């Protein structure tokens, strides 16, 4: 696969993980640490997403 296609695929996968994390945060049934573990996102990313969602869900 060419470099550009690989980068697009990596970005697509990361976006899917962020969507999954956002949905889990909305459910509120598991911790941020657990969300980071199951999605492979950093805890910092999950925390930043939490802050973004606070502005939307309030």
Question: Exposure of 20 by Cβ count < 10 A (0-12 exposed, 13-18 middle, 19+ buried)?
Answer: middle
Q: What is the tens place of the pLDDT at every residue in 19-55?
A: 999 999 999 999 999 999 999 999 999 999 999 998 8
The parent domain of residue 43 ranges over 3-57
Helices (H), 1-58: 3-27, 32-39, 43-57
What Rg value do the Cα atoms of the chain yield, rounded?
13
Q: Is the pLDDT of residue 57 over 80?
A: no
pTM: 0.84
Q: How many helices (H) and strands (E) does the chain have?
A: 3, 0
At 1, the pLDDT band (50, 70, 90 cuts) reads low
The count of domains in the chain is: 1
Would you state the pLDDT for residue 56?
Answer: 82
């Amino acid at each position: 696969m060419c470099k550009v296609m690989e980068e697009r695929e990596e970005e697509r996968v990361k976006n899917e993980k962020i969507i999954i994390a956002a949905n889990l945060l909305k459910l509120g049934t598991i911790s941020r640490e657990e969300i980071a573990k199951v999605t492979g996102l950093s805890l910092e990313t999950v925390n930043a997403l939490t802050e973004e969602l606070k502005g939307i869900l309030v």
